[in-house]
Structure 1
Amino acid sequence: MTILASFAVPHPPIILPEVGRGEERKIAATTAAYEAAMKQAAEFQPDTLIITSPHAEMYLDYFHIAPGREAQGNFAQFSASQAEISVQYDRDLAALIADEAEKAGIPAGLEGERNPDLDHGTLIPLYFYRKFGSLEKVRIVRIGLSGMSPAIHYRFGQCIRDAAEKLGRRAVFIASGDLSHKLKEDGPYGYVPEGPVFDRQCTEALGQGDFFRLLTLDHSLCTRAAECGLRSFWIMAGAWDGTAVRSRLLSYEGPFGVGYGVASFLGEGPDPSRKFLRPLLEAERKQRAERIAQEDPYVKLARLAVETYIKNHEIAPLPADLPSEMLHTRAGAFVSLHLQDQLRGCIGTFLPTQDCLAREILLNGIAAATRDPRFPAVRLEELPYLEYNVDVLSTPEPISGPEELDPRKYGIIVKSAQDERRGLLLPDLDGVDTVDAQISIARQKGNIAAKEPVNLFRFQVVRHR
């Protein structure tokens, strides 16, 4: 067994005295648990610390493994540049993890580095580890997360474990991640009821070593709770595939409105009942089947458009059984794609451009999957996990001012009074709760300055999910 232990830990900069300046005393239990966890980690005298961090390089469809021989970082962004850390990377293990992932068909590797500095999700565990162990005697593998499914994160964890075993590395896995960021009204991110619910479910699963529960937590709950660590925990679970673990929740606190949990996991030998990939894939298959069965003709058409184009590079013919209103109505429509409750693409038209609504949806679906400039084109292996929304727009109407808007009821078009620049925002979006926010975002999307004169239009949508 080359994964000696693993630890789920948070990364609040305020926990450091250099940053907290006394405020860290409000999370003294987290500090004590963190020190106990890293003391235990150092006592194993590992060859390598494998750290997954939400603040390392993160791509929607790719796991980034930090390249190079060494890296440094400090807490300058938190006004504590004097707290510095330097590490040596385990280049051989990093390269073999990338190779194992390639064999498994998982997009991962050493390419795509944008910032070589150690991120704070990596720095904080190292800060505590070096209290008890020398960073000169241990090598580091630093890995970012992705927007891919729980099963792919789990399989990537298996690849990490397999690579460590092949090289005979004695490794400790550190899964860095905070819990919900929305626990308190006066916290930095506000409050939603899902925040405490997520934290309770997640910490229960961590404390019980119930990795399958972690892997199957409700995606919408996790998204609403604004967590950042769950994908780290998914990878960690895969690294323990087929192994019995002794788990312990060491602490949980959230006084600043963000959940901080510390948990430890020690291996206790092979256990075939703890191979979770097959039941996880079956659960994902069942969820997809149930979701597709509930889709109405609008959403089914968007799915058909995307899947036909991505698989065959062809535009699908319109199905013969479409409702008549889709064939005899013209309207603008937006098609949005989501992957693990994260936006994966959205393209639409606010006025009709095709001879019928069905064709509007068909072509906008293809555009959302392939031409949204914010995202790479959808890949074949993503298709089973995509969720679709179709918004059919009413004809935009001019309004005299913001008092005629309601962000829950109306979408908005902000058009420059000087030229054709315009920005559009759909209604009833998470996090867009005020008219001011709605106008501000629409201005940004249209590249229209905050004080530039504009004309306002509103519209309503019929949303199909």
Structure 2
Amino acid sequence: MLVAAAVCPCPPLLVPEVAAGSAPELDAARAACSEALGVLAAARPDRLLVLGPADESGRGTYPEGARGSFRGFGVDAAVRLGRGGGEPASGRELPPSLAVGAWLLERAGWSGTPVEGLGVAEPLPAGRCVELGRDIGGRPGRIALLVMGDASARRSLKGPGYLDERAAPFDAEVARALGSADVAALEALDVELARELKAAGRAPWQVLAGAAENTGLTGTLLYEDAPYGVGYMVAAWS
């Protein structure tokens, strides 16, 4: 059963070495992520699942100890998922979203609770996302989720997808739903609109919604901003 969840953005810029001189711009986001991870730790889960968007090559499960890096972003920095000593499944590195999640866990000193990763294909239909979440929520023991994902990438002229006037209302509804643990609203997110707005977090959020059905969890929105034209949100459910 799902007992807690933390929702965090997944830009590699969260890692100060990647952000370099602009690192202070996301200090508030990092602090909010730390607070959300504290909620996970306080829930005393038996297992933590880190999930985030991935392309076709990165989808699927990753064992504890799977490794990732930020070499693709010009920084020779490596991360490991949890405390295990394993190698990436089938020789694969963690996708960027899970690498950022692994970095957040390392930064928080996460230990003791077993960790695994799940790369969720960005185009996965809403119904499949919800079904996947229900399967996760039905696992035995106390399950916690660290859900990585960004909102729209079209919040400003300088955003990766250029300005789209639908982006701000979309993000506002996502922020409201994450902040109030509104499972139905997350399950109802428009897949096509999310794709057009380049909202990479849509699929992971809908997996979270499926896992949280009938759990009675409540939510708190800890951070919401779009410093680079991309919506970043942090929330904690407990």
Query: Is there any run of 5+ residues in structure 2 with no aligned partner, and where?
Result: none
Distance 1:155 1:43 in 2: 27
Alpha-carbon distance change, 215 to 174 in structure 1, aligned in 2, over 3 angstroms: same
Sequence identity, in percent? 25
Query: Which of 94, 97, 105 does residue 118 from structure 1 map onto?
Result: 94
Query: What residue number does 1:211 align with?
Result: 183
The one-character-per-residue Cα deviations of 1:406-434 (angstroms, maximum 9, x if unpaired) are xxxxxxxxxxxxxxxxxxxxxxxxxxxxx
Give yes or no for the alignment of 1:65 onto 2:41. Answer: no
2:72 and 2:18 map into 1 onto residues whose CA distance is 10
1:16 deviates by 1.6
Spell out, residue by residue over 1:74-95, the C-alpha distance to the aligned partner (whole angstroms, 9 max, x if none).
2111222134335457x9xxxx
Deviations 1:58-112 (A, max 9, x none): 68xxx7223x5631112111222134335457x9xxxxxxxxxxxxxxxxxxxxx
Moved more, 182-191 or 171-180: 182-191
User: Whole-Å Cα distance in 2 between the matches of residues 57 and 5 of structure 1?
Assistant: 28
Residues 165-176 of structure 1 mapped to structure 2, 5 A cutoff: 165=140, 168=141, 170-176=142-148
Provide the C-alpha distance between the structure 2 equivalents of 1:223 and 1:24, rounded to a whole number of angstroms: 28
Query: Which runs of at least 4 in structure 1 moved beyond 6 Å after TM superposition?
Result: none
Aligned to 2:16: 17
- Please give the TM-score of this superposition, normalised by the length of structure 1: 0.47
The residue number in structure 2 matching 1:191 is: 163
When residues 82 and 172 of structure 1 are mapped into structure 2, their CA distance, relative to the original with a 3 A threshold, is same
Deviations 1:145-201 (A, max 9, x none): 2434322211111111212x1xx3x32111110000111112233211122121111
1:48 CA drift (Å): 2.1
Alpha carbons of structure 1 residues 224 and 115: separation in structure 2 relative to 1, 3 Å: farther
- Distance in 2 (alpha carbons) for counterparts of 1:140 and 1:57: 22
CA distance in 2, matches of 1:143, 1:215: 19
The equivalent of 2:118 in structure 1 is 143
Alignment partners' CA distance in 2, 1:159 and 1:210: 19
Q: Structure 2-normalised TM-score?
A: 0.87
Q: Distance in 1 between matches of 2:196 and 2:56?
A: 23
State the SS of the aligned residue for 1:80.
coil
Superimposed CA distance per residue, residues 379-406 of structure 1 (whole angstroms, 9 cap, x where no aligned partner): xxxxxxxxxxxxxxxxxxxxxxxxxxxx
Match of 1:85 among 70, 80, 85: 80
Relative to structure 1, is the Cα distance of residues 132 and 218 closer, same or farther in structure 2, using a 3 angstrom cutoff? closer
Structure showing greater relative contact order (alpha-carbon pairs closer than 8 Å, 6 or more residues apart)? 2
Give the gaps of 5 or more residues in structure 1: 92-112, 267-465
Equivalence map 1:337-352=2 (5 Å): none
Aligned pair count? 234
Measured against aligned partners, the alpha-carbon deviations of 1:199-236 in whole angstroms (never above 9, x if no partner) come to 11111111122121122133342222110001101111
Equivalent residue runs for 1:413-428 within 5 Å: none
Counterpart contact for 1:18–1:83, Cα < 8 Å: no
Distance in 1, matches of 2:127 and 2:181, equals 17
